[in-house]
Amino acid sequence: MDLSTSPSLWAYGSVWVFFSLLVFFKFSHSDMILTPALLVYFFLLVIFEWFCHLYLPIILGIVLLSSACWYVLNIASPRRMLPVAGKTVFITGCDSGFGKAAAHKMDKMGFRVIASVLDLQSPGAKDLRKRCSDRLTIIQMDLTKPEDITRAHQIISENTDENGLWALVNNAGYCAHFGDAELSLMSTYRGCMEVNFFGTLEITKTLLPLIRSSKGRIVTVGSPAGEHSFPFLAAYGSSKAALSRVMDTFRHELMPWGVKVSMIQPGSYRTGAHDNKIHWENQHKKLLASLPNELLQEYGEEYISETQSLFLNYGNTASTDFSPVLDSITDAILSENPKVKYYAGKQLWLLYFIGIYLPHSISDNFFKGIFLKNKSMPRALKKQKNHE
């Protein structure tokens, strides 16, 4: 054997050994089943390895082959799913958006669905009653009101049999303002925390005895804004970051109980809150009326107004196809071994790769290109620039 080829053979051989161990691990944990598609992918991996070995530098070939093996492990093979029969799911925030769509899908699949809404007479609630079966139960609940959470617990207990509550889908969320962290009112920070963190935490703690008895699931809709420091989303992002941390703590602590905890990280989707123009207008007026005059003069009303308009216009380009999010929620509820995190959205992996692995000099410019598109600048900065 030519000694010059030995490093390459050892390197590729190590990838195959590691890949084989992971396949064995997944089979032994019932997370992978043998299918014709999996065999085809394995054959393609062999051909791809041969190509990399002959034509690519060792390091590049190893990276590409490892990536291809990882794809096969996570995508190509179907996951073992649990039966739907006899399972009850509670979903929060079903007036619109992901919650409403998830409630409809879960009902169609045969789950017994309990869906919470802020308003029992809202268009979303009426639409769910019209489209869903009699297995669906709609309840009114405001996550900021402990008495509503207590009443929800009572209703859920009465509507679940000895099997308990199989899954809690924490979907309800709140975003009051797009803008600079300095300009965001303390009431905005507290409002986001009350719903996105404290309210979600309280409903989770309240329902945990029912979920533990069923060895069920907790599925929480988070946000990339909770993992990356996106400009203009300080209040919302901070609340989602706190939520992500506490859910990950639950994940560790509930493992001995057989409860599995997952986070859904959606990409950019056009949910119901975006189209509520009256809400955003009222929030904008409230902000302008509440800011100290000195701070308002420093930034300028034109800059503040443009920032909100840019975000709302950005929302117009967001996806209206909720399928990736709904598929992730479904997998987290029914898979024998659900993922810890689901990244639901086109090219979301690119955002995470740039935000986590690339230097700040690159990631900062990337996020600026997405968010910092104001044509105007704060008045004080504009004056400084004119005097330079």
Measured CA to CA, the distance from residue 26 to residue 35 in angstroms comes to 14
Strand order in the sheet with 341-344: 137-140, 112-117, 88-91, 167-170, 217-221, 260-266, 341-344
Spatial distance between the Cα atoms of 208 and 149, rounded to a whole number of angstroms:
13
Amino acid letter, 128: L
Q: What secondary structure, in 3-state letters, does 206-251 show?
A: HHHHHHHHHCCEEEEECCHHHCCCCCCEHHHHHHHHHHHHHHHHHH
Active-site pick, 236, 269, 299, 303: 236
Locate 32 and state its tokens.
Answer: 């992978």
Decide if 236 is catalytic.
yes
Q: Check: CB of residue 93 under 8 Å from CB of residue 219.
A: no
**Cβ density class 105-130: b for 16+ within 10 Å, e for less:** bbbeeebbbbbbbbeeebebbeebee
* Count of other CB atoms within 10 angstroms of residue 35: 12
Residues marked active site are found at 236
